[in-house]
Structure 1
C-alpha cells in the first residue's frame, strides 16, 4: 500500500490532513485510519500546532469505510476479528477528534457518507459547499448509522435524525447548514482562499478562527422542495414508536399528497434491511440519553454482531447486492418488518464472543481531559 493515501502537510502553525484516495472516493482502509490516528495524536501534543485542517482530494470528501474490502476479507478468511479491530481504531479516531484540544476545521467539499461523516461531524468547524452531498445509507447494506451517528443524529431538530438514519436520504450543503450538521456554507471557488487565510493562524482562539471563516460565508437558502422544509410532517411520522408505525404514517401522508420526498422516503425504507431499520431506530432513540462514548461503545458492539453474523447475514448480503453484484435485489433475513422480533434486536446487545468462543473486548476509549462531544456546543 502507498503511504500517500493520506497526505500530511505543515504550514507554519497549521497542519493539513488530506484524504488522498480519489479513485476510491477516499473510502477509508486500515492504513489510512492508523496514519491519521498517529498523526492527530502527534499534532495534539505539539505546542507549535494551533489548528488542523481536514479535507479530501478529488470529487469526494469520503464515502465511508471500505465495506466491500471488509466483507471480502471476512468471507475469504472466515474470521471477523481483524476487521473489528480496525473498526475499533476508527471509532477511537472519531472520539479523539470529538475531544480534540485544538480547533479542527473540516472542509467538506463533495460526498461525505458513513465513516466520512464520523470524521467530520465531530469537528469544531464543519464547512460545506454547493458540491457537498451528505448521507448515512447504512440500512441499505444491512448495517446501521454508526461512527457516532446515534449521538449526532439524535441531537438534530425534532425527529430529523430518525428520518436521515432510517431512509439514508441525501442532504446538500444548505440543508446540512440549516439542520446543524454544518457550521458554515461557502462557495467551492473560495476554498483555496479560505485555506490560505487559515494557514497564517498563530493561535487556537476559536473566535479568531470563526471570524476568518465568516469572511467567506455565502448565503444560500435551502430548496423549496427540501424535506427539511417539511419538518412538521417528519416530526409527526418519525416520532412514532415503531418502524411499522412510521412507515404507515408516511404512507397516509403520501395518500393525501404525494410529495416527492415522502415517496422517496417510503421507497428507501421498503428497500432497506428490516432488521437494520429496527436496530437503527432504537440506536438513535437511545443516543438522545447517552454521551458520545456510550454511543460509540454500543455501535461497536452492534457492528461486531453484524460482522460475526450473530442474528443474520444482512451485512454480507447487502454489500453483495448493492456494491459487488449490483443487482440491487438483496434477500434480507427476515424479509419483512413484522418478522423482526424484539428478541432479535435484543441480540445485538448481548455479549460478543470471538472466533474461538472467548470473550471479546468491548470498546475501551481512552480517558480524555476535554468534555465529551456535544453537537449543540459546536454550532
Structure 2
C-alpha cells in the first residue's frame, strides 16, 4: 500500500481525485478527544475497496447545499476486502470481502444496543449518528478511495460467505452499504405489505430502490413520481407505474388515473430537501414532497421518509429553510392520523436479509437502479453526469477488482 487515491470536494460543482496517505488503525482525533477513546483502533480494519458508489447525499454536498468545507473527503457506500486488522478483531480475517454499513456505529452505546445504529452516541462529537466521508459526521475519511478504515469491525461488517459469489454479484451487493437498505427502510416503515398501493416520490437511486423494495414486500401497485423522463423510464423497466410531476395535472388526478381513486395506502419520500414544486415551471420548494405525500396518503396511512433533510443549507430559497425549518402541513398529517418515520436508515437492521435475497437470486437491485461501473479517476465526470439527471447508479472501481463480466 504505497498511497491512497480518494475523491475530495473542492468547491461547489467541483470534485477531484487526490493522493492521500493510506489510512492507519486510528480513529479521528476529534472523536478520541470528545469521547475519551484511545486513538488506536485495535477494533478496526483497513479495507482495500472493491466497489464504492456515488450517492445522492454526496451530490448535496458537491452542489454546495450543505456546510461541507473544501477538502471534505467523500464516499459512504463501501464494499471492500480486509488487508489489515487490529488485534481486537476476533471474527474477521484478512482476505474477507465485506459490506460496510454507511452508518458508523460503536455497538456499545444505548442506541446501538437498541438497534438504532444510525444514531450511535459515541462516534461523532457533534451529534448522534455518523458516516464515512460526510459533513458534520465526525471527521471519518471517505470511502470513494482505494483504502478505508472501518472501526468496530466485528460489529459493523458483514462478511460475504463466498469470495467468488461476492465478486460475481458485486453490482447487487455493493448496494447493501446504503441505497438498498435505505430504500427498503423507506418502504418497510411506510407499512408496505401484500396488496398495498404505494407512491414513491423520486426516481433517483434511493427512490428506485424503495420502489423495488415495495415490490419485494408484496405491493400490488407501486407508483413513482419524478420530473426526469429517463428516470421515470427506469422505474417502468421493472414494472412500476409512473407520474410526471412537472405536468400541470395534479398528483391526485394522476394517481386516480392509475388506481381509480386519488389516494394510496402509503408513501415514501426519496427526494428530501432539494424538492421541486408540482407543475410546469415550478421552482424549488423544500417541503413540497412532504406535503404532497400527506395529501395523497389515506387516513391512518404511514409515510417513510428516507430522503435527506438537513439543519444547514446555504443555498436554500429562504432563511427558514437554510436552517431546516420548512413549511410542512403538519395539521393535514395530524388530521389524517399519519405516522412518519424519518432519519438515517439503520443499515444493520436490514442488510443481512437483503444480502441473502441477492445471493439466492431473489433480488436484482443493480438492474433496478441501472448500476454503471466507472474507474475512480472518472468520479468527477460521474458526479457531473449524475447532477444532470443521468438515470444511473455510478459504481466506482478504485482498484480494478470488479470483474469485467459484472
TM-score for both structures, normalised by structure 1: 0.29
Structure with more strand by fraction: 2
TM-score for both structures, normalised by structure 2: 0.28
